[in-house]
């Protein structure tokens, strides 16, 4: 019989909860509406991608074939996931009416080949970032710290870089979006219909915390 799974990352779990509590400050003290909450969670997709690229880079691989494959998969992930997030953000801009002015590609020279997806992500991010409330920078910093603590405690010190796989790391960020952000977007649309009342905003943040804890436990148990 296998021994029971144990959670062994209390620091990263505490950092995750702490970072997820920051939106409450925006709701109570800066009057954030649902678009700012969903905006923050979209930005978190990019934070997660940043650390996933580091995981791919630090992943220990013995096979020379897989080492060559890793050199291909890292830029492939950047382009593919970047395009995935760009389309997600593009929908977010127009549905929640974030920002104003020209469309992301208007009056710009298209980048070469597949890099057009990175260009779209850059354009969408610039539009969203310009429309954020100034105090949101602290929430984003909190997310960077939370994901960074998990990366160090679990992936480096917990030696997950020795047991991970290219296939698993390539699929993890997409699973996060599919499982969590469909729920967040659905919840955001529901909250928007009622003009973002505080109780529903709080419920949306609690929903995000629930999904984060579930995914965290699922990813870091032994």
pLDDT in tens, the chain (222 residues): 344 444 557 888 899 999 999 999 999 999 998 889 888 989 999 999 999 999 999 999 888 888 888 989 999 999 999 998 998 888 888 878 776 554 555 555 677 788 899 999 999 999 999 989 999 999 999 999 999 999 999 999 999 999 989 988 998 888 777 766 677 777 777 787 787 788 888 888 888 888 888 888 877 765
Cβ pair 26, 32 in contact under 8 A: yes
Cα–Cα distances in angstroms (integers) from residue 145 to residues 16, 17, 18, 34, 124, in the given order: 9, 12, 10, 24, 24
User: From the DSSP assignment, how many helices (H) and strands (E) are in the chain?
Assistant: 9, 0
What gap in Å lies between CA 148 and CA 127, rounded to an integer? 26
Rounded to the nearest 5°, which phi and psi values hold at 107?
Answer: 60, 40
Cβ pair 121, 83 in contact under 8 A: yes
pLDDT given at position 62? 84
pLDDT given at position 162? 92
pLDDT given at position 3? 41
What gap in Å lies between CA 108 and CA 125, rounded to an integer? 15
């Amino acid at each position: 019989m296998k021994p029971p799974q144990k959670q062994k990352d209390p620091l990263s779990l505490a950092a995750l909860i702490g970072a997820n509590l920051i939106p409450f400050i925006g709701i109570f003290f800066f009057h954030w509406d649902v678009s700012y909450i969903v905006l923050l969670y979209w930005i978190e997709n990019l934070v997660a991608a940043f650390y996933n690229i580091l995981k791919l880079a630090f992943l220990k691989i013995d096979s020379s074939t897989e080492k060559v494959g890793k050199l291909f998969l890292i830029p492939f992930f950047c382009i593919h996931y970047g395009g995935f997030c760009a389309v997600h953000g593009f929908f977010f801009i127009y549905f929640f009416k974030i920002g104003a002015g020209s469309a992301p590609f208007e009056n710009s020279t298209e980048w070469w080949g597949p890099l057009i997806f990175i260009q779209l992500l850059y354009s969408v991010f610039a539009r969203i970032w310009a429309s954020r409330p100034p105090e949101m920078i602290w929430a984003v910093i909190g997310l960077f710290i939370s994901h960074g603590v998990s990366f160090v405690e679990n992936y480096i010190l917990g030696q997950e870089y020795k047991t991970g796989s290219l296939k698993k790391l390539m699929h993890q960020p997409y699973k996060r979006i599919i499982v969590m952000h469909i729920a967040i977007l659905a919840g955001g649309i529901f909250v928007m219909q009622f003009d973002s009342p505080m109780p529903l905003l709080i419920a949306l943040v609690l929903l995000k915390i629930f999904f984060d804890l579930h995914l965290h436990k699922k990813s870091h148990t032994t």
